[in-house]
């Protein structure tokens, strides 16, 4: 029986691919024992057990970009997490360690390398962070989601697999009528889907809120996922506008239905969001979050923009230009078709299977 450790987390963009990899391992090799290693007090400590897997937390946190006394504790936390990781590896005795990014992956994979345990890295973004660049020196394979990643990693170790996403995104055909009924939409109106991640995206939300009347004037129906923090504010704004065109949700559990009915999507540019948009094949306008490490969302978005596969509006310009650009795209079917054709070229529907194939070559 093989044993696998999957380490990382911190955000859904790390956790959901990790769970997809674990599920695929179980599908291909049901007897495999899988253990997750995460960071205490991060979302993986709740999400992973809900998916049916055991997880152990390390006492590790990232360096704060602002001046903070927490940064003074970082070296001690790192040393403690390395000790904890070594103990976990000694007791569990994995055949391979998979790193998916996030705080916990660094001490786990570093210690695994020192203990001569094979490692594999799954890099979701188009820009590799310093941790994965360092870990790549000892890794057996690096599974990437974007082309031309040899500027960050040794070329001979790279496998272009894409990012694993939820299986329901792969099957959007024949869901259109069901989606119209679910969201209470009309069939022949232009439909805009606005998503900002599970917590929402404040700039995107404000841009929609301040331009509700422009959307109504153009007879555009909107599925607006606000996140929990902006939900009540958005509901109030829609009520004041006295419109049934705009449907507000704090969270959408049926993203396959939302994608199937959307003509255009407005989204942040996280790795998982982009992977879903590529598979859904939807014309989109990306608004990269400026509040992420090394501005990686802008770099993700530019890969698509440079290939005429998406449009982009900078966060600082969103309130002024986002809704206007979105309306223009909704009424420009030729541009929609071009973006749709080009974004589909980036889709990797078998990402999880391809990553697990590499895992099995190593163990």
Determine what percent of the chain is predicted with pLDDT higher than 70.
Answer: 95
> CA–CA separation, 84 vs 57, rounded Å?
9
Q: Is 12 annotated as a binding residue?
A: yes
Q: What is the secondary structure of 270-334 as a DSSP string?
A: -HHHHHHHHHHT--EEE---SSSGGGHHHHHHHHHHTTTS-EE--GGGHHHHHHHHHHHHHT-HH
Q: Is the pLDDT of residue 19 over 60?
A: yes
Domain map (residue ranges) of the chain: 3-163+349-362, 168-344
Nearest to 14 by CA among 108, 149, 84: 108
Instruction: Say if domain 168-344 classifies as CATH 3.90.79.10.
Output: no
pLDDT at residue number 200:
62
* Of 147 and 26, more confident: 26
Written as six digits, the tokens of 92 are 């569990």
Q: Is 166 annotated as a binding residue?
A: yes
The fold for domain 3-163+349-362 equals: Rossmann fold (3.40.50)
What mean pLDDT is predicted for residues 94-98? 98
> CA–CA separation, 89 vs 115, rounded Å?
9
Determine what percent of the chain is predicted with pLDDT higher than 90.
Answer: 78
Of these ranges, 31-45, 152-166, 280-294, 324-338, the one predicted with the greatest mean pLDDT is 324-338
Q: Is 198 annotated as a binding residue?
A: yes
Q: Is 324 annotated as a binding residue?
A: no
> CA–CA separation, 89 vs 104, rounded Å?
13
CATH topology identical between 3-163+349-362 and 168-344 = yes
Nearest to 158 by CA among 166, 173, 148, 168: 148
Q: Is 289 annotated as a binding residue?
A: no
pLDDT digits (tens, 9 = 90+) for 112-146: 999 999 999 999 999 888 888 989 999 999 999 99
* Of 75 and 363, more confident: 363
Q: Is 204 annotated as a binding residue?
A: no
Indicate the pLDDT class of residue 100, thresholds 50, 70 and 90.
very high
Note the pTM of the prediction, 2 decimals.
0.86
pLDDT digits (tens, 9 = 90+) for 232-242: 999 999 999 99
Q: What value, to the nearest 5°, has the Cα angle with vertex 38 and ends 37 and 44? A: 120
User: Which of 66-70, 235-239, 344-348 shows the lowest per-residue confidence on average (mean pLDDT)?
Assistant: 66-70
Indicate the pLDDT class of residue 16, thresholds 50, 70 and 90.
confident
């Amino acid at each position: 029986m093989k044993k696998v450790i999957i380490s990382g987390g911190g955000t859904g963009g790390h956790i959901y691919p990790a769970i997809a990899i674990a599920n695929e391992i179980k599908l291909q090799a049901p007897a495999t024992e899988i253990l997750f290693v995460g960071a205490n007090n991060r979302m993986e400590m709740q999400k992973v057990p809900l998916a049916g897997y055991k997880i152990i937390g390390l006492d590790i946190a990232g360096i704060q970009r602002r001046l903070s006394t927490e940064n003074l504790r970082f070296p001690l936390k790192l040393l403690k997490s390395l000790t904890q990781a070594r103990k976990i590896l000694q007791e569990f005795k994995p055949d391979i360690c998979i790193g998916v990014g996030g705080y916990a992956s660094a001490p786990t994979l570093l210690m695994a390398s020192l203990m001569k345990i094979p490692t594999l890295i799954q890099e979701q973004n188009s820009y590799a962070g310093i941790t994965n660049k360092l870990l790549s020196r000892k890794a057996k394979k690096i599974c990437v989601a974007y082309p031309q990643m040899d500027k960050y990693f040794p070329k001979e170790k790279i496998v272009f697999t894409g990012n694993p996403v939820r299986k329901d995104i792969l099957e959007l055909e024949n869901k259109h009528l069901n989606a119209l009924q679910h969201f209470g939409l009309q069939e022949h109106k232009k439909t805009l889907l606005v998503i900002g991640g599970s917590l929402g995206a404040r700039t995107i939300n404000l841009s929609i809120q301040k331009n509700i009347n422009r959307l109504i004037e153009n007879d555009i129906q909107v599925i607006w996922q606000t996140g929990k923090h902006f939900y009540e504010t958005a509901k109030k704004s829609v009520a004041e506008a006295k419109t049934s065109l705009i449907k507000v949700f704090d969270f959408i559990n049926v993203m396959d239905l939302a994608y199937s009915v959307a003509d255009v999507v407005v989204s942040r540019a996280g790795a998982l969001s982009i992977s879903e948009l590529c598979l859904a094949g939807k014309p989109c306008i990306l608004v990269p979050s400026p509040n992420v490490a090394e501005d990686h969302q802008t770099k993700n978005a530019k890969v698509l923009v440079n290939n005429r596969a998406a449009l982009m509006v900078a966060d600082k310009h969103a309130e002024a230009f986002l809704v206007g650009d979105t309306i223009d795209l909704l009424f420009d079917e030729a541009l929609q078709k071009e973006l749709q054709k080009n974004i589909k070229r980036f889709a990797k529907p078998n990402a999880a299977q391809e990553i697990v194939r590499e895992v099995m070559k190593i163990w």
